[in-house]
Structure 1
Amino acid sequence: MKKSISLLGILCLSFLLVACGGDNSKENIEKLPETFTIGVIPVQTVGEMESAMDKLQAILTEELDRDVSVKVYPDYNGVVEAMNYDKIDMAYFGPLTYVVAHEKSGAEAIITQLIDGEPFYHSYIITHTDSPLQSIEDVVANSEEIDFAFGDINSTSGSLIPSIELKDRGVFVSEEENRFQTVRFTGSHDATALAVQNKQVDAGAIDSAIYTQLVESGKIDGDQIKTIWQSEKLFQYPWAVHKDTDKETIKQLQDIFLGIKDEKILAAFGASGFTKASNKDYESIRAAAVKQGIINE
């Protein structure tokens, strides 16, 4: 009888140990890091960026030792809203979309790209080489005969900066209020370049680094396009993290990006490498956004 009781006690103890072990395993599974999600604005049409983002996703997954998901959004505003509603942990923004996201959700810039070793680019106004337009003064003087193209309405170089320049020169206030024959927003820099090359518009605004990358890759013919205006230097597109991101993860991300040498990834952004960035680097863009009434003072 005593042996039976002892055996029953051992079985009960074993059951409890297994059960406790199962609970601990469940807790450990639940504590594993969730997928780290990254949203990317479409600096080129979405299909052109997918393979490069797949490679970036693989590098980040390996280096962070956790699942990483990189998604190219169909428009700039979608990335801002994804950050604002806690749908993503990190984002690749344009400078304008970054200052809007920083204002709305506290996103913080930590990395930007280098172009020929510098973290700067320009806004260009381009036209076809056959066009009689030779300068922005010609664009202003002949505005009523010109079909003009901006990129995405939330783009810094494709919309904000050239629209301020054209506003200061008295020919543009908005898509509805301007002195051009027509105004359109193409949605991306490569779409603008192709519209100019194919003579679907007379002039258009574009990111200088993306323009160079499009020419070098053969996606547009540089012999058919000329630049007739260039803005002052603009600080490059930032990679920004969610406001709740811990310092250790930020350092990991910075170290990973600084070490990226893959040509396909770099080419997707027209970049020669990456460098650290911070919110203060975008003060001039914030001032421009305030001037246009995009964000409040």
Structure 2
Amino acid sequence: MKKWLTTLTASSLLVLGGCGDVGEEEDKGGGESSGEALEVAVIPAQSAGEMEDGLDALESSLNESMDREVEVDHYPSYNAVVEALNFGHIDLAYLGPLTYVIANEESGAEAIVTQEIDGQPYYYSYIISHVDQPWDSLDEMLEQAGEVDFAFGSVSSTSGSLIPGLELRDRGVFESEEDHDFASVRYTGSHDVTANAVANQEVEAGAIDSAIYNELVDEGVIDDSEIKTIWESEQLYQYPWAVPEGMDEETKQQFQDAFTSIEDEEILEIFGGASSFVETDHSNYESIAQAAEDFGMLNMESIED
């Protein structure tokens, strides 16, 4: 039975992880203890309620495909997933690329699966604005930066924070939530909240994942005719599913086989409107690791070449 984790925090996971070396080593390399369920964790890319049905279907699908019981949990924050992965309390985690490279650096987490959108494993960071705003490009908007309330997603989001934050820093208008040239800066915590804040003109502009934005449009949550995209990043490799360091090859392969065989639209839809799941590896996320280093978020000495 899936547990919906609404109160678990990164600090509570640190307490679990610090209960003793023996317990930690027993948990490391998930999938080796055949008597326990495999734990799969998903980050809050969208509000939990909007993902619940799809995650229920994913749990059922994995239980049919794997030779072990599988539980799928929707975690409350990016940091909670990273800490759980680092301490071996979960066996597979769906992470944003930035969150993944942090986990890779801290504990050797390994990307094994990602998703394709319309047959391509890429997405973009968008900066969006309401059509009523008097600008049609980022350059034009930044001429009036002092009048702009700007929204990022989660501070740990690749497309909702890291990549647009780097762009705005390079343009000399943003360093941090406290140091910027905007009227205000806020972190909404999720892409759908950012989209609605722009659509309702609670903010003048916001950063969002392109695949999630398109999904919100397709579902009728956002009216595309009311929104304009004023900036688009270069290609970003899609969100990875990662296992803890030391997981046995048999379990990794079972996860890969189970995901790449999924055709259920209810499952695919909640992952950015994916067309399929495909295998991946760490090499596809090295550009994100470099971006994270540029923003002072990683010690690159521990990132593999």
Q: TM-score normalized by structure 2?
A: 0.86
Q: 1:51 aligns with which of 50, 53, 59?
A: 53
Distance 1:230 1:275 in 2: 25
RMSD over equivalenced CA pairs, Å = 0.9
* 2:112 paired residue number: 110
- Structure 1: runs of 5+ lacking an equivalent: 1-30
SS in 1 for 2:136: coil
Is residue 265 from structure 1 mapped to residue 263 from structure 2 by the alignment? no
SS in 1 for 2:113: strand
- Structure 2: runs of 5+ lacking an equivalent: 1-32, 301-305
How do residues 215-234 of structure 1 correspond to structure 2 at under 5 angstroms? Answer: 215-234=217-236
* 2:303 paired residue number: none
Give the fraction of aligned pairs with identical amino acids, expressed as a percent: 56
Q: Read off the aligned partner of 2:126 and give its amino acid letter.
A: Y
Q: Read off the aligned partner of 1:114 and give its amino acid letter.
A: E
Larger displacement relative to structure 2 (151-160 or 254-263): 254-263
Is residue 184 from structure 1 mapped to residue 186 from structure 2 by the alignment? yes
* 1:63 paired residue number: 65
Max Rg structure: 1
Q: 1:133 aligns with which of 132, 135, 139?
A: 135
Larger displacement relative to structure 2 (73-82 or 116-125): 73-82
Q: Read off the aligned partner of 2:247 and give its amino acid letter.
A: T
Q: 2:278 aligns with which of 275, 281, 289?
A: 275
SS in 2 for 1:183: strand
Distance 2:34 2:256 in 1: 22
- Residues 218-273 of structure 1: CA distance to partner in whole angstroms, max 9, x if unpaired? 11111111101000000000000111211111111111111111111111012111
Q: Read off the aligned partner of 2:220 and give its amino acid letter.
A: G
- Residues 54-89 of structure 1: CA distance to partner in whole angstroms, max 9, x if unpaired? 110111112112211111111111111111122111
Is residue 97 from structure 1 mapped to residue 99 from structure 2 by the alignment? yes
Distance 1:32 1:163 in 2: 43
Structure 1 residue 32: Cα displacement: 4.1
Q: 1:287 aligns with which of 283, 290, 294?
A: 290
Larger displacement relative to structure 2 (163-172 or 126-135): 126-135
* 2:241 paired residue number: 239
* 2:6 paired residue number: none
* 2:199 paired residue number: 197
Distance 1:32 1:189 in 2: 37
Structure 1 residue 139: Cα displacement: 2.2
Distance 2:145 2:34 in 1: 59
Q: TM-score normalized by structure 1?
A: 0.88
Structure 1 residue 106: Cα displacement: 1.0
Name segments (4+ residues, structure 1) moved above 2 Å.
Answer: none
